[in-house]
Amino acid sequence: MANAELKLAPTAPVSFEQEYAIGKFLSMEARLLDEERYPDWLELLTEDIRYQIPVAISTYRRARQGSTTLKPLFIIDDGFPGLKQRADREATGLVWLNDPATRHLRIITNIEVETTDTPNEFLVRSKFMIFRGRRDKDIASHAGWREDILRQTPQGWRIARRVVHLIERVVMDKNLNMFF
């Protein structure tokens, strides 16, 4: 469904430089989040960003689309203001769960870059694992893949769209108050 909105051109070549730069950008982005530098992270988003996490609803492969029980459901479906609100909450110092400090670790891998029919925008697919460690042994982890649209701007790379696909249906964590 997210794909339908992405205007894909037949795969045009992406330069090594661009692919390399995108990989470095995603690593840097992950590190900013690991370091809880949320205002800095917000700088990497475009004003028109759409950020979604659809729920992986467990239906049969043969399930007929359109039945009311199968409508898409999102865990996050935010524009910039919604993401800023989430970041602001983290920064209040009033989220007791994060004190003692939560330790974050993100691994971003399997990065694939494709051109789109917008010259300065690229479709970037990646896989991730994200770990959170709290207190003594409160460890949670999530794995999935992302489909991003990254935009090349005079200020550098910016995230214009992100769809996060988790492999879990029932969320196996006390919350998903984190950015993927």
> Under rule CB under 8 A, how many of the chain's residues touch another protein?
41
Which residue in the block uniquely carries the two structure tokens 């898409």? 72
Rule CB under 8 A: which of 63-122 touch another protein?
A: 63-64, 67-77, 82, 85-86, 88-90, 92-97
List, edge to edge, every strand of the sheet that includes 156-166.
74-78, 45-54, 156-166, 138-153, 121-134, 103-115
CA–CA gap between residue 81 and residue 90 (Å, rounded): 14
59 or 120: CB nearest another protein: 59
- Backbone dihedral region for residue 138 (phi beyond 0: left; psi -120 to 50: alpha; all else: beta): beta
User: Which CB atom, from 9 or from 172, has the smaller least distance to another protein?
Assistant: 172
Nearer to another protein, 64 or 154 (CB): 64
For the bound state, the minimum distance from the C-beta of residue 15 to another protein, rounded and expressed in Å, comes to 36
By CB under 8 A, the residues from 120 to 149 that bind another protein are: none
Q: How far apart are CA 38 and CA 29, in angstroms?
A: 10
Which residues lie near another protein (CB under 8 A)? 53, 55, 57-60, 63-64, 67-77, 82, 85-86, 88-90, 92-97, 169-178
